[in-house]
Amino acid sequence: MRSGLVFNVQRFSLQDGPGVRSTVFMKGCPLACGWCHNPESQSPEPEIIRMRHRCMVCGLCPEQGLEEPVGRSRNEADVEACPTGALQTVGQQMDSTALVKALLRDRIFFDESGGGVTFSGGEPLLQAPFVIEAMRLLRKESVHTALDTCGFARWQELQEASAQASLVLYDLKLMDDARHQAATGVSNRLILQNLKALSAIHQNIWIRVPIIPGINDDEGNLDATAAFLVSLPGIRQVDLLPYHATGEAKFARVGLLSTAQGILSPSIQRLETLAAHFRAQGLTTTLGGQP
C-alpha cells in the first residue's frame, strides 16, 4: 500500500477526459509555468495558506498587513484554530487503498457517462509508485483511468504508468527548446523524446496544448507542434485549452509570482483560427478538452 500527497479530489469533472470524472490532483511539479492554473501544486511539500476573503482579522495571523501572506511558518494547530477556515492546508497524505475506496463511491456516474478517474497535478509522475498502484486498483474494479502528464519524467515511470492508463493526456507547450526553458524552467527535449516513445506503445493519447496569448499562440509554434504530432502514431486528438485567469489569485497565496498578469483569455474565434493549423494536418482538434 503506497502513500501519496494529494491536494484536491475534484468530483464531477468534465474537462479531464471522457464522461463524468473524478480528478485527483497530486502535489509537486518539475515545471514552473507562470500561467499555471494550480500554482499550489508546484511545491512537493504541504503548505498552509490564508484565504484573504475568508479572514475576519481575528488576530491569529501575525502577517495581517500583507495582502496574501504565505503561512510556511504556521502549523496545523493554527489551521484548526482558524474560526472561518481562512487558513487551509494544501496537501494531504493518502494511501492508495483509501483513495480508491473514496473514488469508487462515484462509480455509478462513471458507468453511466463513460467516465472514470484522472490523475493530474502538478505532475503525477513525481509520485509514480502511488499513482501506478492507485490506477492498478481502479482497473481491477473496471474503472476507466487517465494520466494527465507534462511528460517531464523518467521513461520507465511513464511507461509503467501508461500501462495502467486507459487514456494519456499529454501536455505540449512550446516546440522551441530555448522558449520552453524560458517559459517553464526546463528543457522540452525529454518531453518530446518521451512522447515519441509513448506514441509507439500506447494507442490512446490526447495532446493538450494550453493557449497562452503572447507565450505560445504564434503560428510558428503551432505549425511546428502540428507537424511533430502528425508523424506520431497513437495520437487520437488535440485539445486546445484556453488560458483563463482563475489561477492568478492563487500565486500570492503560495509566495509565487504569476507572469501571466494582464493576459486575456483567447476568444472562441481565435481558438478556431488556431485549431485550423492542426486540422489542416488531419489532426482531430477540440476546444477546451471536450471529446
Q: What is the CATH number of the domain that holds 158?
A: 3.20.20.70
203 and 142: one domain? yes
pTM for this one?
0.89
In whole angstroms, give the CA distance from residue 104 to residue 49: 30
Query: Residue 68 pLDDT > 50, yes or no?
Result: no
Rounded Cα distance, 287 and 92, in Å = 33
Examine residue 97 and state whether it is found in any structural domain, yes or no: no
Residue with the three cell numbers 479530489: 9
User: Does residue 41 or residue 110 have the better pLDDT?
Assistant: 110
Q: CA nearest 164: which of 203, 182, 138, 190?
A: 138
Torsion sign across C-alpha atoms 128, 134, 139, 144: negative
The count of domains in the chain is 2
pLDDT of residue 53: 74
- Asked whether residue 140 falls in the same domain as residue 277, the answer is yes
Which residue, 76, 70, 135, is CA-closest to 100? 135
pLDDT at 215: 94
Query: What is the pLDDT, as a whole number, of residue 57?
Result: 76
Range of the domain at 209: 8-40+106-287
Q: Which of 69-78, 100-109, 237-246 has the highest mean pLDDT?
A: 100-109
Q: Are 51 and 134 part of one and the same domain?
A: no
Q: Looking at the domain assignment, is residue 213 inside a domain?
A: yes
pLDDT value of position 71: 43
Same domain, 59 and 28: no
Per-residue HEC secondary structure of 53-68 comes to HHCCCCCCCCCCCCCC
Query: Is 19 part of a structural domain of the chain?
Result: yes
Residues above pLDDT 70, as percent of the chain: 92
| pLDDT 10s digits, 3-43 | 999 999 999 999 999 999 999 999 999 999 988 888 888 88
